[in-house]
């Protein structure tokens, strides 16, 4: 039996690696892939138009032994999110049957819930992808505020913001004031399989709303990602206030890949330097540490 307080190995969960494969390159991306992969295909986690993204993701796939005959049309970087999962219970779904973003959310919901029950079995954890932050004690007032904005166009125009915040996975604990009261939001987890600068800043807006509008303790505010390119991770990792930590699903593999690539040229060295900045400042950590951080925090 594993000693209490330790966490099971979740560094690269199977529900995530099941989504990884090699995809056919588009006409515009073919020159990059032929140059760095040797044929017109690349890792479906990568931005195939970006040489650095392709090179790092290729090295990670080789470390994970994702064979090139494992072909897929599952483009992680550009899939549109679906509104709901076909699963309403806690069974582990087949990742390839769902949109990539939903597969990540469902996998995280399952893993976080199971791990927290193992690490802190005496606490009545609530882990959900359903609803918004206003179901939790610190944010119940936001539901009333949102209704006021809907009912008064002038007020909505003047305020100019939306108070409905729905994190991808939310972790709650019973309210210490009374077991019959609404749960307290313990953590808000934003799931970003890959990071695109035009979308990822929404996380700052979402978490900023939770910081400014809480009535009570501040929850953990974390991002889970598999983005292979450190320069994109830096775009969200720098700064303070809105995000506690980035938890990376491929932390060890990215670290190993960059160590092997960093002396190849200045482009790879720049990516390595960005990665080391985040690691040394503790802005990015292995995904396997997430549950223990939540259980002990």
CA 56 to chain CA centroid, Å, is 19
pLDDT of residue 199: 66
Show the tokens assigned to 231.
């320069």
Torsion of CA 28, 29, 35, 40, to 10 degrees: -100
CB atoms within 10 A of CB 252: 15
Domains in the chain, number? 1
pLDDT of residue 21: 93
What is the C-alpha to C-alpha distance for residues 112 and 39, in angstroms, rounded to an integer?
Answer: 39
Q: Which residues of the chain have pLDDT under 50?
A: 1-10, 79-97
Q: 250-285: per-residue pLDDT in tens?
A: 999 999 999 999 988 899 999 999 999 999 999 999
> Is 286 part of any domain?
yes
> Is 68 part of any domain?
no
Q: Which helix (H) or strand (E) holds 284?
A: strand 284-286
CB atoms within 10 A of CB 85: 16
> Is 21 part of any domain?
no
pLDDT of residue 85: 35
- List phi, psi (to 5°) of 285: -140, 165
Q: 183-196: per-residue pLDDT in tens?
A: 999 999 998 888 87
> Is 213 part of any domain?
yes
> Is 8 part of any domain?
no
> Is 35 part of any domain?
no
> Is 105 part of any domain?
yes
pLDDT of residue 72: 84
> Are the C-beta atoms of 101 and 193 separated by less than 8 Å?
yes
CATH number of the domain enclosing 219: 3.40.50.10010
Task: Report the candidate in 201, 7, 275, 224 with the shortest Cα–Cα distance to residue 100.
Answer: 224
Cβ-based neighbours of 14, under 8 Å, separated by 6 or more:
none
* End-to-end CA, the chain: 24
> Is 195 part of any domain?
yes
Domain that holds residue 251: 97-296
pLDDT of residue 198: 60
pLDDT of residue 205: 85
């Amino acid at each position: 039996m594993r000693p209490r307080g330790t966490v099971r190995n979740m560094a690269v969960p199977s529900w995530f690696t099941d989504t990884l494969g090699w995809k056919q390159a588009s006409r515009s991306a073919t020159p990059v892939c032929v140059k760095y992969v040797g044929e017109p295909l690349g890792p479906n986690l990568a931005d195939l138009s970006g040489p650095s993204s392709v090179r790092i993701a290729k090295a990670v796939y080789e470390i994970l032994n994702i064979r090139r005959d494992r072909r897929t049309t599952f483009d992680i970087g550009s899939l549109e999110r679906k509104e709901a999962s076909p699963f309403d219970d806690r069974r582990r779904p087949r990742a390839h049957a769902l949109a990539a973003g939903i597969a990540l959310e469902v996998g995280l919901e399952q893993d976080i819930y199971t791990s927290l029950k193992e690490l802190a079995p005496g606490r009545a954890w609530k882990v959900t992808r359903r609803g918004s932050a206003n179901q939790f004690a610190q944010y119940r007032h936001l539901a009333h505020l949102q209704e006021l904005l809907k009912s008064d166009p002038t007020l909505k125009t003047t305020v100019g913001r939306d108070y409905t915040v729905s994190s991808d996975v939310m972790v709650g604990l019973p309210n210490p004031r009374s077991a019959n009261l609404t749960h307290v939001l313990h953590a808000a987890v934003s799931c970003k399989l890959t990071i695109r600068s035009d979308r990822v800043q929404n996380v700052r807006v979402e978490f900023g709303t939770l910081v400014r509008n809480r009535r009570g303790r501040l929850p953990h505010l974390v991002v889970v990602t598999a983005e292979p390119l450190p320069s994109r991770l830096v775009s969200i990792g720098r700064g303070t206030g809105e995000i506690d930590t980035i938890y990376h699903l491929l932390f060890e593999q990215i670290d190993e890949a960059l160590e092997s690539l960093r002396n190849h040229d200045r482009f790879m060295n720049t990516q390595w330097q960005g990665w080391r900045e985040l690691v040394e400042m503790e802005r990015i950590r292995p995904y396997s540490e997430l549950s223990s951080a939540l259980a002990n925090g």
